[in-house]
Structure 1
Amino acid sequence: MNHDIRVVAFDLDDTLIRLDPTFVPEYVRLLDETLRAALALSEPLSGHFLEVTNQMMAKMRDEESLQDFFFRQFSERASLTRNQIEGPLTAFYEEIFPRLRSLARPVYGAMGMLSQLKAAGYQVALLTSALFPKAAIDERLRWAGLEGFPFDWRTAFEVVHATKPQPGYYEEAADALGVPPQAWLMVGNDLVEDIIPARSAGMAAYWVRDQKPTAEEEATLPPGTPWGPVEAVLSHLGLA
């Protein structure tokens, strides 16, 4: 065990689960279609969702939860109340979102890797994008074959006050577990959303990547950041 690291945190999408490139546009299409039907609206809502998503990603950590921020901003743009939106949105994630499973596939060996980390004494956290509610994260964990794994902490937009790529998102996770950022290793595939802000927050990082970085990527990669396939995290920590 690497005694400098106490918590190993993982991104979800394209780190512990592989998503088809069509996943996001199909997700947005289904969400727009479902909410417009439920609310009897003729005008598309997708533009409002994308605007608010960008605002959520830009939001600094403060006293307002990301969930409350989303409903406040979206309600203003769509001229709807939170009560009008919340029910159909909950129904979407429970009934429609699972249809997207065909656009995802699990990462071989992910459960074994996480279990080996726990057995070695590490705490394991899930730091996926908090743009999604808990129901959507639970569903994607089922697709990944990880629904039974006992994460020590998980993000969701109901419980956090910032999301990627804000360093405050990573600082909030560290505060929630009571472990300083310097004792965390963040494992993720996105240089801009996972690696750079985690390092800015004081965490170590491991960049999930199967191919050699481009010259442009190497120029922005924080010095000393290792990279490689996700399963090689075990070797990086001296467990394989």
Structure 2
Amino acid sequence: MLKTILFDLDGTLLPMEEPRFLEGYFGLLTRAMAPHGFDGKELVAVLWQGVAAMVANDGAKTNEAVFRDVFARAYPDRDADDALALLETFYRTDFNRAAACCGFNPAAGETVRELKRRGFSLVLASNPVFPRFAQEARLRWAGVDPADFSLFTSYENFSFSKPNPDYYRAILSVRGLAPDECLMVGNDAAEDATAAGEAGIPVFLLTDCLINRKGKDVTRWRRGSFPELMRVIDEATGN
């Protein structure tokens, strides 16, 4: 029986063209960090190194700890905790201006609220390479209330990342769920659909901002926009 809906965030609940978002995000970040002595190009390169390390994380430590290690190695003459505190300040303030680089689909918030009203448990299954407050910020940009979600995956509380199927298995373990009690909703054919499927979780591929870098055959998955998603859920629950 379907109990829990897992939602990706970027490109799913929050419409975006990834290159445009990254350009705006990194521009805001480098300008915010420049007064503290950080070279913009170097900082962006270090952030990508941190993301790569979190994606490769084998579960031995949290993604936050992995990212901190990368940052500490890249800036040995800086206090890593102080530097990460500066990043936290950015994510709580100037980062919100990156909302202008994203789209907005009112159906996202409407769908979340309706599923919550029906009694489904909702999980924000956004790749946990951001701190929780950055995940919450992007939800608000999408017109979604963070309080509607019973679990956020963020770099503080997860030790695996997409596209590792163990990321999805960890969600199942934390929530005490069987794969067939869940539905993963995402826009990335590899990170969302393929990886969740390898963990045994049924998938709905949201195609509004489809990412299919490897040219996968998407006809294997149920797919479409939010109205099609609701029809799939209705069928699964006998409505």
Using a 3 Å threshold, how does the CA distance of structure 1 residues 212 and 176 change in structure 2: closer, same or farther? closer
* Counterpart pick for 1:111 among 95, 109, 112: 109
Conserved in 2, the CA contact under 8 Å of 1:198 and 1:204?
Answer: yes
Gaps of 5+ in 2: none
- Pairing partner for 2:64 from 59, 62, 67: 67
Question: TM-score, normalization: structure 1?
Answer: 0.87
Describe how 1:221-232 pairs up with structure 2 within 5 A.
221=218, 224-232=220-228
Q: What does 1:197-212 correspond to in 2, within 5 Å? A: 197-210=195-208
State the alpha-carbon separation in 1 of the partners of residues 64 and 105 from structure 2.
Answer: 29
Alignment equivalent of 1:155, drawn from 137, 153, 156: 153
Instruction: Specify every segment of 5 or more residues in structure 1 that has no aligned partner in the other structure, as ranges.
Output: none
Which sits farther off after the overlay, 144-153 or 227-236? 144-153
1:119-138 superposed matches below 5 A: 119-138=117-136
* More displaced stretch, 186-195 vs 99-108: 99-108
SS at the partner of 1:179?
Answer: coil
Contact 2:11 2:210 in 1 (8 A): no
Match of 2:233 among 227, 232, 237: 237
Q: Does the Cα contact within 8 Å between 2:128 and 2:158 map onto a contact in 1? A: yes
Q: Distance in 2 between matches of 1:34 and 1:212?
A: 31
CA contact (8 A) 2:6 2:124 kept: yes
Matched, 1:146 2:144: yes
Contact 1:111–1:149 at 8 Å: present in 2 too? no
1:93 aligns with 2:81: no
CA–CA separation in structure 2 for the residues paired with 1:183 and 1:146: 23
Q: Displacement of 1:11 after TM fit? A: 0.5
Q: Deviations over 1:177-233 (max 9, x none)?
A: 11122321100000111111101111111111159999x7344x4x84211113311
SS in 2 for 1:217: coil
In structure 1, C-alpha distance between the alignment counterparts of 2:116 and 2:38, rounded to whole Å: 48
Hey, what's the Cα distance between the residues in 1 that align with 2:185 and 2:222?
10
Percent identity, aligned pairs only? 25
How far, CA to CA, are the matches of 2:216 and 2:176 in structure 1?
32
Q: Distance in 2 between matches of 1:36 and 1:188?
A: 35
Match of 1:192 among 179, 190, 193: 190
Q: Provide Cα deviations, 1:11-53, integer angstroms capped at 9, x if missing partner.
A: 1111111124411122123223322322x24473111111221
- The 2-side partners of 1:7 and 1:85 are apart by 37
Q: Which runs of 4+ in 1 moved over 6 A?
A: 211-214
State the alpha-carbon separation in 1 of the partners of residues 176 and 206 from structure 2. Answer: 26
Q: CA RMSD in A?
A: 2.4
Does the 8 A contact of 1:48 with 1:78 survive in 2? no
Q: Could you tell me which residue of structure 1 aligns to residue 162 of structure 2?
A: 164
Q: Where does residue 3 of structure 2 map in the other structure?
A: 6
Supply the distance in 2 between the matched residues of 1:212 and 1:176 (Cα, whole angstroms). Answer: 28
